[in-house]
Amino acid sequence: MNKLFKNLQVGILAFSSLVTTITVLLIVIFLFSEGLSFFNKKPIEPGFIIAVHPDNPITFINPTECKRIFDQDITDWKEVTGHAQPITLVTLEDIGNNYSEEQMGAEMEYLDTCYNHFIQGDKGVIAMIPERNFTNKIKANKLKLDKNSIASFVQGKEWFPTAKPIAQFGAFPLLVGTFLVSLGAILLALPLGLACAIFMSEITSVRIRSYMKPVVELLAGIPSVVYGFFGLVIIVPLIQKVFHLDVGETALAGSIILGIMALPTIITISEDALQNVPKSMREAAYALGATKWQTILTVLIPYARSGITTAAILGIGRAIGETMAVLMVTGNAANTTLNILKPVRTIPATIAAELGEAPNGGIHFQSLFALACILFLITMSINLYVNFISRKKA
């Protein structure tokens, strides 16, 4: 009976492990299937094409140039290696404003004729045309557009996923914002966390440590939205006042909040690493005449460096993956800046802010999954490095 009960326990544990493993694998597969499908699509609004006058030598245009043309930042074709000719924008709305319903047809059956008349009347035209209406009646050249690439996605400087007619999917500002906030957080949290761990492990009494440790661990259980609310009410106005800024939602505010959130991880792991230093190491240092601080700085910290490094890396991982608190205090602006007093946007905050508004299965939706893939690879790399450091001998 006892053997049967033990086998049942083993079977339940094995089944639970199998289900968990399969679930995680399915989530990862779904993540990458959605994210990678983004790179098989063009950034143009679905169902439309971009066309120019047949005498226009331009046959290819990149998404950034196209957006600048439709934003009227570029007004002459010579600015994009074409002939000197003013650019005239034509959209479906322009057609509706210039032609009557009778001319366009009750079911838009003459829309191609209207487009062709518009294009033939001006050699500088660039037209956004519904693909179903691009018939042989339209004498125009269809511009080629590249599909989204990993290089353009990672290196792109603009993030405007809803821009028309060409969306801008440049994740570089989001990567910079993520690393800037995370780096600031770890620079703030690591010295404070290590100092607290040293105090708890080597200086204070056992009684005080028994009170401090639960309080520190309790900080890890506070919801991130509470930290975000604290930052929005206290930290943001303080930064705005101290640095005389127009707004206090900056990378610095995000770094401070994330630094506070990373403290429990850094303190707990560092304190455990210091506690695991053999007692003989301390006694040997004292026997050689070293003071307490000399022992801490020259013996304990070097011996526990693997654990301290692990604590720092896990703290970075916590900062990189945080969403709600960062969304509330960083200003949520996709700026490519290294100035900690400027608003920034991080990858997790972007996903949280935009996923609910992105059409399911659309290119915007898939671009957010592509961002999630990048975030997954970053955090996985951090975890692998933590495992490597943990196994490494001090």
pLDDT digits (tens, 9 = 90+) for 242-293: 999 888 899 999 999 999 998 998 998 899 888 888 888 888 888 888 888 8
Percent of the chain with pLDDT over 70: 98
Residues 206 and 74 reside in one and the same domain: no
Q: What is the pTM of this model?
A: 0.84
| In a domain? residue 216 | yes
Residues 52 and 35 reside in one and the same domain: no
Residues 77 and 28 reside in one and the same domain: no
Residues 262 and 194 reside in one and the same domain: yes
In this structure, what CATH number is given to the domain that contains residue 135? Answer: 3.40.190.10
In this structure, what CATH number is given to the domain that contains residue 321? Answer: 1.10.3720.10
Looking at 125, 144, 163, the residue that finishes a domain is 144
Measuring CA to CA, which residue among 104, 261, 269 is closest to residue 185? 261
Q: Alpha-carbon distance 80 to 175, whole Å?
A: 29
| In a domain? residue 162 | no
What angle (nearest 5°) sits at the alpha carbon of residue 263, between those of residues 302 and 285? 25
pLDDT at 113: 87
Angle between helices 363-391 and 305-321 (to 10 degrees): 170
Query: SS3 for 146?
Result: coil
Q: How far is CA 134 from CA 101, 145, 253, in A?
A: 19, 16, 51
Tell me the per-residue pLDDT of 5-63, one tens digit each, with 9 for 90 and over: 787 888 888 888 899 999 989 999 999 998 998 988 888 877 888 999 888 888 888 88
* Number of neighbouring beta carbons within 10 Å of residue 284: 13
**Structural domain count of the chain:** 3
Residues 234 and 109 reside in one and the same domain: no
What domain range is 11 assigned to? 2-40
Check whether 393 has a pLDDT greater than 60.
Answer: no
- Kindly tell me the sign of the dihedral angle through the C-alpha atoms of 177, 179, 185, 191: negative
| In a domain? residue 151 | no
| In a domain? residue 165 | no
pLDDT at 394: 45
pLDDT band, very low/low/confident/very high, at 311 (cuts 50, 70, 90): confident
Whether 172 contacts 156, CB under 8 Å:
yes
Whether 126 contacts 50, CB under 8 Å:
yes
List, edge to edge, every strand of the sheet that includes 48-52: 88-90, 125-130, 48-52, 141-142
Among the ranges 102-116, 233-247, 375-389, which has the highest mean pLDDT value? Answer: 233-247
| In a domain? residue 150 | no
Residues 130 and 29 reside in one and the same domain: no
Whether 184 contacts 251, CB under 8 Å:
yes
pLDDT at 1: 63
Residues 24 and 57 reside in one and the same domain: no
Check whether 88 has a pLDDT greater than 70.
Answer: yes
Percent of the chain with pLDDT over 90: 23
Residues 29 and 110 reside in one and the same domain: no
Residues 299 and 198 reside in one and the same domain: yes
Least confident of 151-155, 197-201, 228-232, 305-309: 305-309
| In a domain? residue 161 | no
Query: SS3 for 276?
Result: coil
First to last CA, the chain: 47
Residues 69 and 177 reside in one and the same domain: no
Give the bridge partners for 141, in sequence order: 52
Place of tokens 């006042």: 241
Strand 159-160 to 168-169 pairing: antiparallel
Residues 24 and 73 reside in one and the same domain: no
Residues 81 and 198 reside in one and the same domain: no
pLDDT at 48: 86
| In a domain? residue 156 | no
| In a domain? residue 155 | no
pLDDT at 257: 93
